[in-house]
Amino acid sequence: MRVFNRHARKIDLGECPRTGVITVRLLGGARKAFGAETVEVEGDKMTVRELLDSLKSRNPRDLDLDSLLVAINGADSAVSGGESAVVKTGDEIALIPVVHGGSTGARFKAGAAEAGAFPITPGSGGAELLDRLRAAFPRLALQAVSQRLVLGSSHVQKILLVSLQAKKRGIMLSKRIETDILMRFAGTNQISRAIEKAGAAGKAGFVLIAVGPPSQLDGLRKELGPRLRSGPFPSGSRTVIMRELGITKAELAATGTRTPLEDVLAERAAVLFR
């Protein structure tokens, strides 16, 4: 934006957010549906619910806006009040399609990063396989998370958003993003406890999480081949997850969202600090 002083000299104030307008960045299927990279909604401040209702009136294709993940300044809106969370002019807001993966895993955007979640068949080897893959794909951040603590691909996406935002702000729980991811799935800031609770152990099934360049993700999926678990993206037991992480039914009821357990897990992941 440019303004003029009384001597008519131009002064460049840089990029300032437009007042009275909230800008929303669109990713993946949302971008295709609207035919644009961003959309603008009139208003200085509104709730996520009001924002989605406003967008529904101009949605040109059959896109379920209620199934999208809304990120506010890089974090899932579920951790700041869900549909009641308030967005305002100047916030970085993004609509991110939640991908439900099949037999070859799930691929999605996590903020500005490309990521993949690949369910691995039991008996494929945990730590040993992970070490080999890290050596073969050095540009990927790789982590193996016990299937017991993974609700599904959208759960993975929400935890990744939390970890990547922590990296951006310099407040990760560990120096390495892959360790931070594991700790947030386990709901602890203790590395040893995270490995014990959420790490891939023995011959049990796990989800391989990868963040990095698309070409490396393509190569990883090809390399995994027969180790990929067939069928729909597996979901861990809600009962086991609630017991392991000490989540009560009262906490779930208090969220008021359509995915209460996922949202409680994302909120807990977001409030972890060193």
- Domain ranges for the chain, please list them: 15-97, 106-270
Task: Give CA–CA dist 205/216, Å, rounded.
Answer: 23
Average pLDDT over residues 34-55: 87
In the predicted model, is pLDDT for residue 253 greater than 90? Answer: yes
Contact of 214 with 114, CB cutoff 8 Å:
yes
**Which residues are within 8 A (CB) of 237 and not within 5 positions of it... i.e. 6 or more apart?**
148
Domain 106-270 architecture: 2-Layer Sandwich (3.30)
pLDDT at 25: 85
Task: Give CA–CA dist 70/78, Å, rounded.
Answer: 8
∠ CA 233-104-112, rounded to 5°: 85
Tokens for 54, please give them. Answer: 């406003």
Task: Give CA–CA dist 266/274, Å, rounded.
Answer: 17
Is residue 7 very low, low, confident or very high in pLDDT (cuts 50, 70, 90)?
very low
Q: Is this model's pTM higher than 0.85 or not?
A: no
Contact of 152 with 108, CB cutoff 8 Å:
no
Q: What integer best gives the mean pLDDT of the chain?
A: 83
Average pLDDT over residues 113-130: 87
Give strand ranges (E) for the chain: 2-4, 10-12, 21-26, 38-42, 45-47, 68-72, 75-76, 86-88, 93-97, 106-110, 113-120, 141-146, 206-211
DSSP string covering 224-235: HGGGBPPSSPP-
In the predicted model, is pLDDT for residue 173 greater than 70? Answer: yes
pLDDT at 4: 33
Share of the chain above pLDDT 90, in %: 40
Q: Which top CATH class is 15-97?
A: alpha beta
Task: Give CA–CA dist 171/273, Å, rounded.
Answer: 8
φ, ψ at 2 (rounded to 5°): -120, 140
- Residue that the structure tokens 């939640």 belong to: 98
